[in-house]
A = this chain, B = another copy of it.
């Protein structure tokens, strides 16, 4: 029996090594188009930046090491030009010699990954991409003599590449067609990243389309010419389904190969895994593209289990992701608010601004968290975080809670490891649960930052319950100020009608709203307080009101797919 695997990174190599552990005596051939297998794809931007100094650190395995350890027949520089499904053969082209030959298979696994998309503008062929080790070598060489760079696209790869080009000392512009980078997240969560990028000298161009790539420049739609010794295309990735299409295998609405829960394509002898296949969304079951390395690795292992006869099945995906940039962490799981709005799904949003650990212990770092909850069932629909240390931990805990079917209210009761070095006695995740319970039990009504203006226009009074000092130095225009600790005494001073209360982060506003409600006044709390409001995007109306931003599947823009990490 011979199993042939097309693609020797992440999913493909996970499948190959797992197959060997389960089937010692089966012939396993891995065909890889590039010159390397099992390389650290997610490390490529960091080698460009010199953060990962040694190129060799990216090369986790070689065909030789995989042969010695796993008895795998790994062939690099080999492109599969076609599949003869009737004959059960693949046509293999040696890229060095151009010679082709047929190779028979009993089972075929496709793991071709996803390829970078190039925007269709004149001159774009000069733009470099970052998909494999050869690309990286090319970028490193180009950067060596360069002084300026333009990165086109503000997704994970674009942001990581831009940061690393800054590390290299280049003058870097990042051009993003929409009003925010990191499309899977909501704008008020991404705004701190915009600020951080600019603080580090990056020329961030939002809402800007590239119209032409010149010899040493990039031209934007508004006529701006950006200096660009190097141009990087990072507008996203697309499933590499060319081979599957040519073989007549079913390809889905989002352009990925269609597989069943056993990762079988429409041909029962052909399987597919990783970035190239369509997954099922964990929230609504729709077809989605999630180009993430952990998903690819999991699928690689599962397909081996299926072929070996173990009882396993693939699962829907949440699309948890994280990026670190200039010391800031940005992470998310599940759906964003804009995506929920675009889909017309009801939700409640909760914003908080906790510290990663007890404030009285030195070195506490701040973060912003956002939780999205189904108001009917209290199911957790998504979460996002941005800030310093501990953001990734909170998103991981919430992703696990979603997978475990916990309700948002259950987050209050999670027993998380607490000492003042690591968290708070009421951990930020617990606090989200506490706040959700207040919503569930009807104890508080909140307003989102993008709903404020409309409410004020309708005649509501904005009441700032912070101290006078805070009110003066960080105002939301149009508000009056009575600090919380004096509110009970001064309640008669308040004008009639609806009150929108706010504070710095949301807690005092909630306390004030409780006081007011129990004194017979209707009060709505501005969710996340001044801090969330202050992180609103500059062009708030356009972003908050646009359904178009929300139509992309979560993680569409991600590309951690072919890492062997």
Contact = CB atoms under 8 A, between A and B. Distances in A.
B21 A511 contact: yes
A415 B319 contact: yes
Interface stretch (A226-234, A239-247, A255-263, A310-318): A310-318
Contacts of A321: 417-419
B294 A418 contact: yes
Contact of A393 (B358, B396, B414, B420): B396
A295 interface: yes
B565 A40 contact: no
Contacts of A479: none
Contacts of A418: 42, 292-294, 320-322, 560, 565
B419 A399 contact: no
A485 B65 CA distance: 8
Contacts of A515: 24
A409 B415 CA distance: 21
A423 interface: yes
A414 B399 contact: yes
Contacts of A295: 415
Interface in A53-70: 57-58, 60, 65, 68-69
A404 interface: yes
A328 to B, nearest CB: 11
Contacts of A441: 310
Given A21-B514, A563-B425, A419 B68 contact: no
A424 interface: yes
Nearest to A484: B69
Contacts of A333: 415, 417
B24 A518 contact: yes
A355 to B, nearest CB: 11
A348 to B, nearest CB: 19
A439 interface: no
A331 B318 CA distance: 27
Nearest to A391: B417
Interface residues on A, range: 35 or more
Contact of A25 (B68, B486, B518): B518
A294 B417 CA distance: 9
Nearest to A17: B511
A315 B25 contact: no
A484 B21 CA distance: 13
A298 interface: yes
Interface in A292-308: 292-298, 301
A426 B294 contact: yes
A427 interface: yes
Contacts of A68: 485-486
A421 interface: yes
B294 A427 contact: yes
B21 A57 contact: no
A368 to B, nearest CB: 16
A562 to B, nearest CB: 10
Nearest to A296: B425
Contacts of A420: 40, 42-43, 46, 563, 565
Nearest to A510: B21
B424 A24 contact: no
Given A360-B43, A361-B43, A405-B404, A399 B425 contact: no
Contact of A42 (B40, B65, B358): B358
Contacts of A511: 21, 69
A417 B320 contact: yes
A540 interface: no
Contact of A443 (B21, B156, B419, B518): B21
A475 interface: no
A403 B404 CA distance: 8
B419 A323 contact: yes
Nearest to A329: B422
B393 A565 contact: no
A411 to B, nearest CB: 9
A430 interface: yes
Nearest to A412: B298
A415 B399 contact: yes
Nearest to A427: B294
A425 B301 CA distance: 13
Contact of A360 (B60, B71, B323, B419): B60
Contact of A322 (B40, B396, B399, B422): B422
A297 B425 contact: yes
Contact of A403 (B297, B396, B410, B423): B410
Interface string A552-565: 00000000100111
Given A40-B420, A418-B565, 9 more contacts: A22-B514, A46-B420, A52-B361, A301-B434, A323-B419, A396-B417, A403-B410, A419-B560, A425-B563
Which 9 pairs from chain A and chain B are nearest by CB?
Answer: A404-B404, A425-B565, A24-B518, A322-B417, A293-B425, A68-B485, A320-B415, A393-B393, A324-B421
11 contacts: A42-B420, A43-B361, A46-B361, A51-B362, A57-B360, A294-B426, A297-B426, A322-B419, A333-B417, A400-B414, A418-B560
